[in-house]
């Protein structure tokens, strides 16, 4: 049986599934229920400074995007950090940590970008017995207008400075949570690394307006007729998060820096993908908010079964395994040729592949044969773009089949080569390295 025990920065948890800092981790009641359901750890809902807590809107704070089956694909929120007093949160964190010593409990913190503010809160958090801290440099709304959250995460110099203070004033491991609302995620990650962070976690939410009410012309969620941008999360953001995790994992300046992967994780498979791209553990918010705490059961059993099936004994057999396979476009093998193939037994003859290929790709799929609906790939036209696979409603009905070396590519009339060749040496590339000229005799 696969061993799912996780050791992230020395913080031990029975599995790599943590709840991200958000409503599911806002109070002891939730966190205890989450632990009973099986979650390996939590990052407590972000704590602010001592004193009067922040005030949330008294109305809708969520917007959503749904698939055709009304399944939630993306969630938008305009919630702030915890609106409960600091001392209440600290008291509950201490109680929970004492009652659940085998689970990870990390405190998320966001205070003003001033040394004294960080210096003041760190000992209070340390006193709770929390296993570590996560610096919230990600919240894109409300707090950022007050110079916190994403306003810090978007300035690498600030990131480095605050991480340095935290490393100076606490012995707890420091996880720096990054905002995706930035052109190049490597910059704040490098800055956090320079400041001495023990890990980065990402992503926090993405700036977004999910919809506009066309009767009132107010963005949703609407508060008294007006709206504001919120933070986007849920399954829709997973591809963005995966790329950002991979960028950090393969960056020579941050390679090896532990990563906690966040963003749209809903199933064990999502989690395994984040781990394969370099995440040592994962955090989940929207999926728990949508389906409840018990989804962790399927995450645990799914990951465990897959690892058994593949012969992976521990998480370290999986973490980072896909990183060497992430490269830049210019290094992709241009001699690798694939063609689409339609399984006629599975095809329901809906015609979606035909119309997609006909109107927007390479006119490579038939529609009729002997006057009857028949969808078949014409290899001599197919560029192997994969669009038909993506639009086909039947799973595995269209597959991409590589042509073996030595086969004739009927589209180009060339024989498929078994050698790897990329754009850096391609004759059409004006900047390509010229083939060496043999010296004259």
Ligand X SMILES: Cc1cc2nc3c(=O)[nH]c(=O)nc-3n(C[C@H](O)[C@H](O)[C@H](O)COP(=O)(O)O)c2cc1C
The catalytic residue positions are: 139
Interacting partner of 234 out of ligand SF4, ligand X, none (Cβ under 5 to 8 A depending on kind): ligand X
Residue 318 contacts residue 307 (beta carbons within 8 Å): yes
- What does the block give as tokens for 306? 């897959």
Interacting partner of 285 out of ligand SF4, ligand X, none (Cβ under 5 to 8 A depending on kind): ligand X
Q: By CB under 6 A, is residue 362 in contact with ligand SF4?
A: yes
Whole-angstrom CA distances from 280 to 258, 262, 276, 322, 382 are 6, 11, 9, 13, 40
Q: By CB under 6 A, is residue 136 in contact with ligand X?
A: yes
DSSP 110-144: ---S-HHHHHHHHHHHHTTT-SEEEEE----SSSG
From the list 295, 286, 277, the residue with the least C-alpha distance to 73 is 286
Minimum distance from residue 262 beta carbon to ligand X (Å): 5
From the list 297, 292, 265, the residue with the least C-alpha distance to 30 is 292
Residue 277 contacts residue 326 (beta carbons within 8 Å): yes
Looking at the Cβ atoms of 71 and 349, the one nearer to ligand SF4 is: 349
Tell me the C-alpha distance between 89 and 5, whole Å.
27
Q: Which SS3 state, helix, strand or coil, does residue 412 take?
A: coil
- What does the block give as tokens for 41? 């750890």
Q: By CB under 6 A, is residue 6 in contact with ligand X?
A: no
- What x-and-dash track marks residues 219-258 binding ligand X by CB under 6 A? --------------xx--x---------------------
Strand locations in 48-93 (E): 62-66, 72-77
Q: By CB under 6 A, is residue 45 in contact with ligand X?
A: yes
Q: By CB under 6 A, is residue 128 in contact with ligand X?
A: no
Minimum distance from residue 264 beta carbon to ligand X (Å): 4
Q: Which of 312, 397, 423, 438 binds ligand SF4 (CB under 6 A)?
A: 397
Q: How many residues bind ligand X (CB under 6 A)?
A: 28
Tell me the C-alpha distance between 133 and 84, whole Å.
18
From the list 149, 117, 132, 139, the residue with the least C-alpha distance to 50 is 117
Looking at the Cβ atoms of 115 and 358, the one nearer to ligand SF4 is: 358
- Interface stretch with ligand X, choices 16-24, 244-252, 388-396, 418-426 (CB under 6 A): 16-24
Q: By CB under 6 A, is residue 272 in contact with ligand X?
A: no
Q: By CB under 6 A, is residue 262 in contact with ligand X?
A: yes
- CB half-sphere exposure, 291, CA atoms < 13 A: 18
- Interface stretch with ligand X, choices 75-83, 155-163, 347-355, 412-420 (CB under 6 A): 75-83
Looking at the Cβ atoms of 262 and 377, the one nearer to ligand X is: 262
- Residue 175's DSSP bridge partners are 134, 199
Minimum distance from residue 358 beta carbon to ligand SF4 (Å): 8
Tell me the C-alpha distance between 319 and 308, whole Å.
15
Minimum distance from residue 220 beta carbon to ligand X (Å): 15
Residues 292-351 that bind ligand SF4 (CB under 6 A): 340, 342, 347-351
Q: Which SS3 state, helix, strand or coil, does residue 72 take?
A: strand
Tell me the C-alpha distance between 271 and 265, whole Å.
6
Binding site for ligand X (CB under 6 A): 20-23, 45-46, 75, 77, 79, 81, 108, 136, 138-139, 177, 204-205, 233-234, 237, 262-265, 284-287
Binding site for ligand SF4 (CB under 6 A): 340, 342, 347-353, 356-357, 361-362, 364-365, 375, 377, 382-388, 392, 394, 397-398
């Amino acid at each position: 049986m696969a061993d799912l025990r996780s050791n992230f920065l020395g913080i031990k948890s029975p599995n790599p599934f943590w709840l991200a800092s958000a409503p599911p981790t806002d109070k002891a009641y939730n966190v205890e229920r989450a632990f009973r359901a099986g979650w390996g750890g939590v990052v407590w809902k972000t704590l602010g400074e001592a004193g009067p807590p922040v005030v949330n809107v008294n109305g809708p704070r969520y917007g959503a995007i749904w698939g055709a089956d009304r399944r939630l694909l993306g969630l938008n929120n305009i919630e702030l950090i915890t609106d409960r007093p600091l001392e209440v949160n600290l008291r509950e964190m201490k109680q929970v940590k004492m009652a659940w010593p085998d689970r990870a409990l990390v405190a998320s913190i966001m205070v003003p970008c001033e040394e004294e503010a960080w210096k003041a809160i760190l000992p209070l958090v340390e006193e709770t017995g929390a296993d570590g801290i996560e610096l919230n440099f990600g919240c894109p709304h409300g707090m950022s207008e007050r110079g916190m959250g994403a306003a810090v995460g978007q300035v690498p110099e600030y990131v480095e400075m605050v991480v340095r203070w935290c490393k100076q004033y606490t012995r707890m491991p420091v996880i720096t949570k990054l905002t995706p609302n930035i052109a190049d995620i490597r910059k704040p990650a490098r800055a956090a690394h320079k400041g001495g962070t023990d890990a980065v976690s990402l992503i926090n939410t993405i700036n977004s307006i999910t919809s506009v009410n066309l009767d009132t012309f107010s963005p949703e969620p609407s508060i008294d007729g007006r709206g504001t941008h919120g933070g986007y999360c849920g399954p829709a953001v997973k591809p963005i998060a995966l790329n950002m995790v991979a960028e950090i994992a393969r960056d020579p300046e941050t390679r090896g820096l532990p990563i906690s992967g966040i963003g749209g994780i809903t199933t064990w498979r999502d989690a395994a993908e984040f781990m394969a791209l370099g995440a040592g553990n994962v955090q989940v918010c929207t999926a728990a908010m949508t389906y409840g705490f018990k989804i962790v059961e399927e995450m645990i059993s799914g990951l465990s079964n897959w690892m058994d099936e593949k012969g992976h004994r521990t998480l370290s057999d999986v973490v980072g395994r896909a990183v060497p396979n992430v490269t830049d476009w210019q290094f992709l093998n241009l001699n690798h040729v694939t063609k689409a193939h339609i399984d006629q037994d599975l095809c329901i003859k809906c015609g979606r592949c035909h119309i997609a290929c006909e109107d927007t790709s390479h006119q490579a799929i038939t529609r009729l044969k002997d006057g009857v609906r028949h969808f078949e790939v014409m290899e001599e036209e197919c560029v192997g773009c994969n669009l038909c696979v993506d639009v086909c409603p039947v799973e595995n009905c269209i597959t991409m089949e590589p042509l073996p070396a030595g086969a004739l590519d009927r589209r180009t009339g060339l024989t498929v080569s078994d050698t790897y060749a990329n754009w850096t040496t391609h004759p059409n590339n004006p900047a390509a390295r010229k083939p060496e000229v043999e010296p004259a005799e």
